[in-house]
Structure 1
């Protein structure tokens, strides 16, 4: 075999080959299979991989392996077909989930000139463009810019047939099929006041996502949440079996190690509620959970479900010096009593339920304008304020420190050493108050960062955990606001003008590869606000034109001569 043959295939053709080689419904009942798969209660698509063809050339073997490996996460017998393409030795050492590279398109194959059919040795190179990567804990990381990736497969002959004898750990998965083979999962951790779940998005193999979710909950929160959440079970509690199984009563059975005996009935009840919130997959479905130790079922206390805290009340808009409210797609005069006389409002924030209303007066003063005007914070150039669910107002100087003003009037600094040397341009507190989204500029350029809020025993914010970086593919971000419990609306630069983007904190739902994407239809945007309860987005341009984005992609104009706007929160 001589010369280099480059095999190019269109994404659609490759996806069809990978996925339409055979499709079957994944079983929705029956006992869980060994190997870490779990019960699938929701209908889904299983991809049937094809075994090697007799006499297949090295490039065909590698192509077949890549397609079979992509199907592995959806199979009830994960990677059993993919292993048919490997020698026995390679099959025992290959770790498919060690790293998952999400590709823009499909890998292109090149057969090396050094391949020799007579000697029974061949080398095939696979190259692609990586847009994101997934680690063994299910954490998705978006690349700032697509990067080139090449991996090498060495093949030998076994019983006269080419098989892969050496390969890199991991998977190459096109972004178009990533969200089909991996399940976007919201792990839920308990807020310190035990009143809210704090979500942490992961991506797990479709056939074992529930087992993986339970395992990662037991492993504890990621570093970026850290002390911002409350542990539920004693440290060291783990799954006693490799799978979450389906019990005879229809409940999911979760078998735990002996440490569970140290947990109180209340703690076990919280754990059951935590699992229900996570494993219901956001559907609201009531899932039965049975906890077991070595002696059998263990009884938890009944714990009421926690309702996600979502700021209530309409958006407020400052137009012609007066306050207006958003009602549907119209602006109506607000009945919120505010005192704006003598102020120069340059930023606006609203608490849940419509209070407090806070403005930035000029560049360096925050004033609560509901009731008697009250100066909250004085500075040189303060960040636009954000109000958390406790009524505390967050702001601070762009170069630090971040400061929080409690409803009592007390002002407290929030430590964030990782912001040293960076300039913050935007700050927004999440609906449950356990996370903060920031945009900062410094070494490495502009970054959108989400960090857990560490509070003291009195609930006062004291520090921010080291952050998770999100939305790295969006250039020139100047503002980030919460559009959902796990999604941010970003004001970024692209396609010649400033526009609106959506980025997932851990990966965006409904987007190829979980990647950030632009929301088309409006350009020249200068400011954003969003509603976590509805997902609505307000966008303001330099001419004071206010646009509203709801479920449709249309951006109707709902106001002119607008200077400021803010949804509660």
Structure 2
């Protein structure tokens, strides 16, 4: 794989699938084949072994469906173990093994595949076993995760051939892997690739999923290849062109040092470029206390990196503000408190609130056709137009809103411009929210295909003024009737949507999948009738307003203590 650091369905069936996987070991001992290519020969020294699966080869005389089941068991454990793929090879003919591209796609399933064997005559030399499954998400060859809008049924054929010794082996199969949601996040490692903003002030995450055994190697290759297309104009590349891994392995030593050996173009890097490259790899590869730092080498020669670079991961700066009883207050800890020099709301009809980093500026939507900036001197109109969506304020103090299919931005200087977004043609924007680092925007829109949540990269000029949006990626495809999307973590959105029964709920959806069962979006329990949600990136804090104006603060996934009542509006910076 060429391209990387950082419940909703399948509860009973997923647990059962995992149990089947752990217990589904064929009784005979596995032997290691002496031929055939095994991808995982570049496995990293530091390995996460979280699954007690024992690879095993075929039992003599096994029926075709048992052969297929044994292959599936070993193959889905393969991303964690060289031995599992070696055992999986034993279930295939030589030509099937050499022709099988296991990482070209991964199907994430709700439960385990159900095998449908065909009747086999005693003298038959070929047969087909079909695997029926329900797909809830997919992973492409670059580790990019996509959730299905609706679970979809598939049926994949496995052609088997009887060998001269009477044993059945799989001779033809589709490329890729099939994994249950319960097993997916064990086999694949959620990895945030970090790329710097053009001003080198913030990291921008690009979430991928890589085989657990080789995730650092794959992530490093992806970093060296540069940002994905949708972030290409919102981030910058600091690695000299042509730099690649000198050996196809990134190893972790006994002292926790990650050794990254690069090809000669890295020697042409400036001191700043080396420092940025090292910082980028450390942000991506160092996590969880398992590894401490990164050592760069030009092949076998260590590279000196005298400078240290401080770049922030996306995080909300400042407290939430609320409008209650005709005044603006600050959310402090678990209560609301008065603001010094609180701006006046006299003469206004506040229907939405937005705050910039550090609580400046404060803006409200006045009715549905005007957005104003609040100050001690009085409100200042920054944007007007019928049916404006709730505003968002980015780190440049620019105010974002939309009407119809047009996104509008009022810069700090007071200029207002519309951003032409071709993928919003024939759609109507319902929500706009800029990420803390200002490189991405989450957009909820409605159209012929229903309500969709997209995240796009923001293209800016040298002064930081937005000039366009990239082609987007879809997020939370399985969440219905979304009205609002806000940033809850650096690559996770909190969505205000609807359950299957129509009840309003708050969901968490990852931009590229999220931690948890199968990477899927999931509804948060314990909060009834949410009408508005706001969140703080970095702390994970969530505030929810219900239809009666009661303000709730999330403590755990199921505990939402009441903060206060009679609140009209609330918003964290962003």
Q: Structure 2 length as normaliser, TM-score?
A: 0.91
TM superposition shift of 1:21: 5.9
1:129 aligns with 2:134: yes
Worse overlay, 378-387 or 190-199: 378-387
CA separation in 2, counterparts of 1:278 and 1:21?
35
What's 2:411 paired with? 406
Q: Of residues 193, 197, 201 in structure 2, which corresponds to 1:195? A: 201
Asked whether the 8 Å contact 2:434–2:442 carries over to 1, the reply is yes
Deviations 1:427-477 (A, max 9, x none): 001011110001011242211000011111222111111001010000010
Worse overlay, 256-265 or 315-324: 256-265
1:492 aligns with 2:497: yes
Cα pair distance change 1:117/1:183, threshold 3 Å: farther
What's 2:222 paired with? 216
What's 1:96 paired with? 102
CA separation in 1, counterparts of 2:245 and 2:572?
42
What's 2:19 paired with? 16
1:204 aligns with 2:207: no
Asked whether the 8 Å contact 1:535–1:550 carries over to 2, the reply is no
Deviations 1:237-280 (A, max 9, x none): 22222111346875322222333233222112101100000011
Report the 3-state secondary structure (helix = DSSP H, G, I; strand = E; otherwise coil) of the residue aligned with 1:81. helix
Report the 3-state secondary structure (helix = DSSP H, G, I; strand = E; otherwise coil) of the residue aligned with 1:227. coil
Flag the structure with more relative contact order, 1 or 2, with Cα contacts below 8 A and sequence separation at least 6.
2
Report the 3-state secondary structure (helix = DSSP H, G, I; strand = E; otherwise coil) of the residue aligned with 1:85. coil
What's 2:372 paired with? 367
Deviations 1:134-156 (A, max 9, x none): 00110010000000111000111
What's 1:516 paired with? 521
TM superposition shift of 1:211: 0.5
Asked whether the 8 Å contact 2:192–2:207 carries over to 1, the reply is yes
What's 1:156 paired with? 161
Asked whether the 8 Å contact 1:311–1:389 carries over to 2, the reply is no
Worse overlay, 545-554 or 81-90: 545-554
TM superposition shift of 1:499: 1.0
Structure 1 unmatched runs, 5+: 1-8, 23-32
TM superposition shift of 1:550: 2.4
1:419 aligns with 2:424: yes
Matches within 5 A, 1:170-569: 170-246=176-252, 251-281=257-287, 283=288, 287-294=292-299, 296-372=301-377, 373-400=379-406, 402-494=407-499, 495-509=501-515, 511-569=516-574
CA separation in 2, counterparts of 1:409 and 1:345?
21
Matches within 5 A, 1:14-53: 14-20=17-23, 35-40=41-46, 44-45=50-51, 47-53=53-59
TM superposition shift of 1:330: 2.0
Asked whether the 8 Å contact 1:19–1:71 carries over to 2, the reply is no
Cα pair distance change 1:256/1:11, threshold 3 Å: same
Report the 3-state secondary structure (helix = DSSP H, G, I; strand = E; otherwise coil) of the residue aligned with 2:401. strand
CA separation in 1, counterparts of 2:237 and 2:376?
40
Cα pair distance change 1:250/1:341, threshold 3 Å: closer
Deviations 1:304-359 (A, max 9, x none): 23222422332111112122222222223333520211111111001121211100
CA separation in 1, counterparts of 2:391 and 2:485?
13
Worse overlay, 244-253 or 340-349: 244-253
Asked whether the 8 Å contact 1:21–1:50 carries over to 2, the reply is no
What's 2:7 paired with? none
CA separation in 1, counterparts of 2:291 and 2:201?
19
Structure 2 unmatched runs, 5+: 1-11, 26-38
Worse overlay, 320-329 or 448-457: 320-329
The total of aligned residue pairs comes to: 547
Asked whether the 8 Å contact 2:204–2:314 carries over to 1, the reply is no
CA separation in 2, counterparts of 1:13 and 1:497?
29
Deviations 1:502-530 (A, max 9, x none): 10111011x21100000012232221111
Asked whether the 8 Å contact 1:276–1:286 carries over to 2, the reply is no
What's 2:30 paired with? none
Cα pair distance change 1:336/1:74, threshold 3 Å: farther
Cα pair distance change 1:309/1:145, threshold 3 Å: closer
RMSD of aligned Cα (Å)? 2.1
CA separation in 1, counterparts of 2:198 and 2:546?
39
Q: Structure 1 length as normaliser, TM-score?
A: 0.92
Asked whether the 8 Å contact 2:476–2:521 carries over to 1, the reply is yes
CA separation in 2, counterparts of 1:232 and 1:480?
31
What's 1:143 paired with? 148
Asked whether the 8 Å contact 1:46–1:74 carries over to 2, the reply is no
What's 2:5 paired with? none
TM superposition shift of 1:301: 4.1
What's 2:35 paired with? none
